[in-house]
Amino acid sequence: MTREAEVRFTCPEGALKQYISDLTGDYGVTFEDGRVMVYVKEIKETEQTYDKVRQLAGDIARDLQKQKVTKATVADEQFKEAFSKLDIQKVTTAFVEGWELGSYQFASYKSKEKEGKVALHLKQGALRHQAVKEGNLRAEATAFARDLMNEIPSKLNPETFPEMLKDAFANTEVEVVVHNKQALEKMEMNGLLAVNRGSKHDPAFIELHYEGDRSKPLIALVGKGVTFDTGGISLKSGRNLSDMRMDMGGAAAVAGAVKLLASLDAKVNVVGLIQTVENMPDSNSLLPGDVIQYKNGHTVQVGNTDAEGRLILADGLIRADELKADYIVDIATLTGAIAYALGPKVAGIFGEESLTATMKAVGDANGEFVWPMPLIDDYEKDLKSDYADFSNISNQSYGGSITAALFLRRFVQDPSKWIHVDIAGVMESKEEGYYRASATGFGARLLADYALAISQEN
């Protein structure tokens, strides 16, 4: 049975308008002549942002989904009045993006059927067809990242992850190169090999090459792909560790970003570098006190095996320099400290001020908010080791996200072109706006839009 709805940004004067205005929230839902009607309240000019558009669309889509509505119609000429200070094309893209992501579900392992999706029909002008298409592509790429993060660790592991990406990028302009364990040994990717020693699965290093315009600077996107993190010998404690399957959120963001750029036929030159391991305790596991010697000559004392993300990212950063990347961004669910510092809505970014300013502007526009954090050189001494060049953890209790970034900086030849993104606090969300109570897919749109911004500048 078809159940339809209409979304309106204007409400007729009288008792209905008063009723809608008295409701909490941004809109009200009524039933008129056999049809569900959604009336959106007037949005103050000071509150008009593209992320407000996404949040509103996501809330409405999910609300109608729960009411078993199958189709919703919106006349997008109303956007111009409702969001008068914003660009109508961008509003259309944001609304579609928010609608699709608000409808997202990961229900592969539920016995009940998924809630039906509410098809969005926009009565749009011909000029806005591209805006609708872009909104759908952006949502698809983010949903892809969410699916990867939500997948259970017995299905997504270091051996299956490369195959999933090969399938995802088949028949696209993205070249997928997978380095197996034997190749990693020859490439001296000793961080990956060390961290993965306790796993029954072999580690892998995955390269996603997309050359939309080879004349553009090469941007390397380096993603941490720990498919499950027990902490290793430094075993994690906690009542429920299920979300440690999301410790590959950085890798998911990189894969989602490359997918988005390729689907947009973007004029960029990007390589995604994904290190995938499983951090498990075992008789063969990496031990606290072990020393890893990296290809660039650095030796690292392992003070704690639960600080494994930086150990594998180091190999990714070395590889980015080998490929002569002009810009490098690494992204990882790296430290709990960043979540304490910034909370669940904002990721921390570290690097050159001009680059972090560009990324912050990108995040402010696309809703993946970031905040520039300091790299305090004086904290370098806290990584001191008595018998290796430095340790993978600080010997102090403060500034954990900063010392993690300082550790990574040592593996970048030119830190002036590097940004580190710590997404540990934003990897999952409660149900609100265009987020479900699951993985966020944070970083897919941020990295793609950052790559576009850098490429447009050069």
pTM: 0.96
Residue 443 has pLDDT above 80, yes or no: yes
What CATH number has the domain spanning 156-457?
3.40.630.10
Residue 143 has pLDDT above 80, yes or no: yes
Of all residues in the chain, what percent carry a pLDDT higher than 70? 99
Side chain identity at residue 47, one-letter code? E
- What's the pLDDT band for 113 if we cut at 50, 70, 90? confident
The pLDDT of residue 376 is 97
Q: Work out the average pLDDT over 109-125.
A: 82
**Angstrom distance (rounded) from CA 447 to CA 442:** 9
The pLDDT of residue 107 is 86
6: helix, strand or coil: strand
The pLDDT of residue 1 is 61
- Known catalytic residues? 236, 310
What CATH number has the domain spanning 4-138?
3.40.220.10
**Angstrom distance (rounded) from CA 306 to CA 407:** 15
Of all residues in the chain, what percent carry a pLDDT higher than 90? 86
Tell me the pLDDT of the chain averaged across its residues: 95
Q: Is there a contact between 27 and 40 (Cβ–Cβ < 8 Å)?
A: yes
The pLDDT of residue 233 is 97
Q: Can you give the residue ranges of every domain in the chain?
A: 4-138, 156-457
pLDDT in tens, 317-366: 999 999 999 999 999 999 999 999 999 999 999 999 999 999 999 999 99
**Angstrom distance (rounded) from CA 131 to CA 90:** 7
**Angstrom distance (rounded) from CA 9 to CA 18:** 15
The pLDDT of residue 131 is 92
Q: Which two tokens stand for residue 327?
A: 């810009």
Q: Work out the average pLDDT over 66-81.
A: 88
Q: Work out the average pLDDT over 200-215.
A: 98
Residue 291 has pLDDT above 60, yes or no: yes
pLDDT in tens, 400-432: 999 999 999 999 999 999 999 999 999 999 999
Q: Work out the average pLDDT over 263-286.
A: 98
**Angstrom distance (rounded) from CA 282 to CA 340:** 31
The pLDDT of residue 80 is 85
Strand partners, 38: 7, 29
- What's the pLDDT band for 75 if we cut at 50, 70, 90? confident
Q: Work out the average pLDDT over 73-95.
A: 90
Residue 231 has pLDDT above 60, yes or no: yes
The pLDDT of residue 8 is 92
H/E run at residue 166: helix 161-168
Q: Which two tokens stand for residue 378?
A: 């004086």
The pLDDT of residue 297 is 97
pLDDT in tens, 26-58: 999 998 888 899 999 999 999 999 999 999 999
Side chain identity at residue 304, one-letter code? N
H/E run at residue 330: strand 327-332
Compute the C-alpha angle 450/357/436, nearest 5°. 55
In terms of DSSP H, where are the helices of 188-305? Answer: 190-195, 249-263
The pLDDT of residue 126 is 57
Strands 218-229, 269-279: pairing is parallel
**Angstrom distance (rounded) from CA 375 to CA 354:** 14
Q: Work out the average pLDDT over 107-132.
A: 82
Q: Work out the average pLDDT over 104-120.
A: 86
CB atoms within 10 A of CB 238: 9
Q: Is there a contact between 408 and 391 (Cβ–Cβ < 8 Å)?
A: no
